[in-house]
Structure 1
């Protein structure tokens, strides 16, 4: 196993979600919160009709894509620009005989994906895109009639950490031809997720340092702690956006 995946296993949930969990009523642990997030997003996508083609943009280590295939028999394509995530996701699906025929993972940028799909999800990946303004028009061109897209992303009213204001995202979406629904703020959910990452890193400090070094341990703890602080203070926010074809 590569170093980055081994590192992720030291502080993320068992399914390796490097994204916010959803801390609904009765949800306490990181693993529970990540499972709840997957439940909510897949429900919002409305995958009940069998064999819908789903694109997972920024699929990470592949857990949500596999869940969509397992639960809804969706035909899923996950794309990532991370070689280690791609390798792990492909290994993971090879061990899931019920989902394997329905899931493909590709090492590909979103700009390079041009095949028609019925649904799109993008979970805490949009923040890292360079050409954000073109992403939603590109997705609009991919979606077939009655298509639907769910995107979870951090926002900011002023530029910070390369994230976009929520109003700008709505503007881009409407200009592209989407109707937009926005969740209530989920900033507290992400802050709590980051707190748990920090707690796990500190609890396994010696293992983390042995794997990636003390300087990276310090940087990572500081980064997650600052991000949680920004979310709690209102400098950053986070929302779940649902886009439907107008």
Structure 2
């Protein structure tokens, strides 16, 4: 039971004396490793999710273990070395997670392989519905108000967003990835969809891009940039935008101010990864000389997303074990359970920041976002009808003149 209030319960067994010593001296790393090797085992009907839920609630109410405090302090001191993501190191970090067997991801993601936070307006949507709504939400903020706008997708994954922006919004998209596995899959998908003339995918670090674009989007990639590189990242975004361009960055964040990444996550899941507080991001944007034209915080959307992933992973566990082994399955179960709980209990969230070089690059209000989403929903519901028009984009100066009439 967590803290002083009634809450969830769970039970576990420590199978060896060694694991007790590891938990005493390095609980942040030792607990996950103990579950992976079977020396920590949930019992009495409990799951690893149940166990972690109780532990996280107790930490939230009762404070952290002294050994955890020491470890976190040391990581805080060395965080700039830990997050020194050069181009070579970034390529290696990406390969660690995203160049896994492609079948693995097809067994727990949606059909479009959206490996980022979905969008749940009610919380009752299916995973497929929520991922479609996520792409629609992103597109509305990109202000794709005319055909053939050139879009740069930094960290394009398996290409699902790029294909949607090209196929449904008439954009011309270039997707960048550091994963050879994702690159091959994305290119094959573009060919199969008949969009190879509108969508290109490149194995390229964002720092190598040198041509201005109308729009830039980046979803679930900023977590891998590293705190040393925030200002250079946004300067790269600014340099890659045309004068009236718009950028949209979507990433995981946390509400408690600057922190560090859990060492188990760093070692086994996302080396070089860090989910920043918004207070660490905004100063870098300001230094780069960009306008923050919109900022949205998505609460609990990722918890709902990961719950779907956990359930699908569990349903396909035997197939995944046949690809890898039991230890890999336990590693991924621990990753998914702890990640979901980070969003439910531990102050994690997602942020979406819209950026522009010019103060008048976008309309005065956010109405165009809602209108674009409504139009896309209507088109999806009645695909044979002509697409509804939200009207041509008008300059802010013209809007202001009308307002003064």
Is the TM-score greater than 0.5?
yes
Q: Structure 1 length as normaliser, TM-score?
A: 0.94
The 8 Å contact of residues 243 and 357 in structure 2, kept in 1 or not, is answered as: yes
The 8 Å contact of residues 148 and 242 in structure 1, kept in 2 or not, is answered as: yes
The answer to whether the aligner puts 1:236 opposite 2:236 as a matched pair is no
The answer to whether the aligner puts 1:117 opposite 2:213 as a matched pair is yes
Q: Deviations over 1:134-178 (max 9, x none)?
A: 211110011001111111111132223322210221121122122
The answer to whether the aligner puts 1:210 opposite 2:308 as a matched pair is no
Q: Which residue of 2 aligns with 1:23?
A: 120
Whole-Å Cα distance in 2 between the matches of residues 49 and 153 of structure 1?
A: 27
Whole-Å Cα distance in 1 between the matches of residues 320 and 157 of structure 2?
A: 20
- Which consecutive unaligned segments of at least 5 residues does structure 2 have? 1-98, 262-273, 359-405
Equivalent of 1:38 in 131, 135, 146: 135
The 8 Å contact of residues 56 and 78 in structure 1, kept in 2 or not, is answered as: yes
The answer to whether the aligner puts 1:77 opposite 2:174 as a matched pair is yes
The answer to whether the aligner puts 1:145 opposite 2:243 as a matched pair is yes
Deviates most, 99-108 or 128-137: 128-137
The answer to whether the aligner puts 1:47 opposite 2:144 as a matched pair is yes
The 8 Å contact of residues 230 and 284 in structure 2, kept in 1 or not, is answered as: no
Equivalent of 1:165 in 252, 259, 277: 277
Q: Which has the higher contact order (CA 8 A, sep 6+)?
A: 1
Which of 1 and 2 has greater Rg? 2
Q: Where do 1:57-206 residues align within 5 Å? A: 57-97=154-194, 99-130=195-226, 131-156=229-254, 157-161=257-261, 162-180=274-292, 181-183=294-296, 185-206=297-318
Instruction: Give the direction of change, closer, same or farther, for the CA distance of 1:3–1:165 in structure 2 (3 Å limit).
Output: closer
- Which consecutive unaligned segments of at least 5 residues does structure 1 have? none
Whole-Å Cα distance in 2 between the matches of residues 26 and 216 of structure 1?
A: 30
SS at match of 2:147: coil
Whole-Å Cα distance in 1 between the matches of residues 106 and 221 of structure 2?
A: 19
Whole-Å Cα distance in 2 between the matches of residues 170 and 3 of structure 1?
A: 33
Instruction: Give the direction of change, closer, same or farther, for the CA distance of 1:188–1:9 in structure 2 (3 Å limit).
Output: same
Question: RMSD of the alignment, in Å?
Answer: 1.5
Query: When you count strand as a share of all residues, which structure comes out higher?
Result: 1
The answer to whether the aligner puts 1:6 opposite 2:121 as a matched pair is no
Instruction: Give the direction of change, closer, same or farther, for the CA distance of 1:101–1:194 in structure 2 (3 Å limit).
Output: same
Q: Structure 2 length as normaliser, TM-score?
A: 0.58
Whole-Å Cα distance in 2 between the matches of residues 202 and 31 of structure 1?
A: 18
TM-superposed deviation, 1:26: 6.9
Whole-Å Cα distance in 1 between the matches of residues 324 and 258 of structure 2?
A: 33
Whole-Å Cα distance in 1 between the matches of residues 110 and 343 of structure 2?
A: 21
Whole-Å Cα distance in 2 between the matches of residues 45 and 118 of structure 1?
A: 10
Q: Which residue of 1 aligns with 2:337?
A: 225
TM-superposed deviation, 1:229: 1.1
TM-superposed deviation, 1:182: 0.9
SS at match of 1:11: coil
